[in-house]
Amino acid sequence: MKLIVAIVRDSDSDAVVAGLVERHFRVTRIASTGGFLRRGNTTLWVGTEDEKVDEAIGLIRATSSAGAGAEGQRTGMAFVLNVARFEQL
């Protein structure tokens, strides 16, 4: 299991979350602040099976400005972390 921590522009967050939910990914949206991308941003946590990481990141890229951004322009980023244990409560 993996945890994707994605930081996207606030303006992209609704489309990104909708795209992930439509494809049956569970996502948690966290309002975040800071100058990481020098714009308003939202942090998304997406837990998924190892084999679906590329699909999830592709959806995040396709539904955000990252998919249409100029080359070299940073519009978001994602960290993929191993999950040692997962329990649904």
The residues that bridge with 44 in the sheet, in sequence order, are: 6, 29
- Dist. CA 89–CA 50, nearest whole Å: 21
pLDDT in tens, 1-34: 999 999 998 889 999 999 999 999 999 999 887 6
pTM listed for this prediction: 0.84
According to DSSP, residue 39 is labeled S
- Dist. CA 14–CA 48, nearest whole Å: 20
Q: Sign of dihedral through CA atoms 61, 62, 65, 68?
A: positive
Largest CA distance in the chain: 42
- Dist. CA 81–CA 54, nearest whole Å: 13
Which domains does the chain show, CATH number per domain?
A: 2-82 (3.30.70.120)
pLDDT in tens, 43-77: 999 999 999 999 999 999 999 876 555 555 566 88
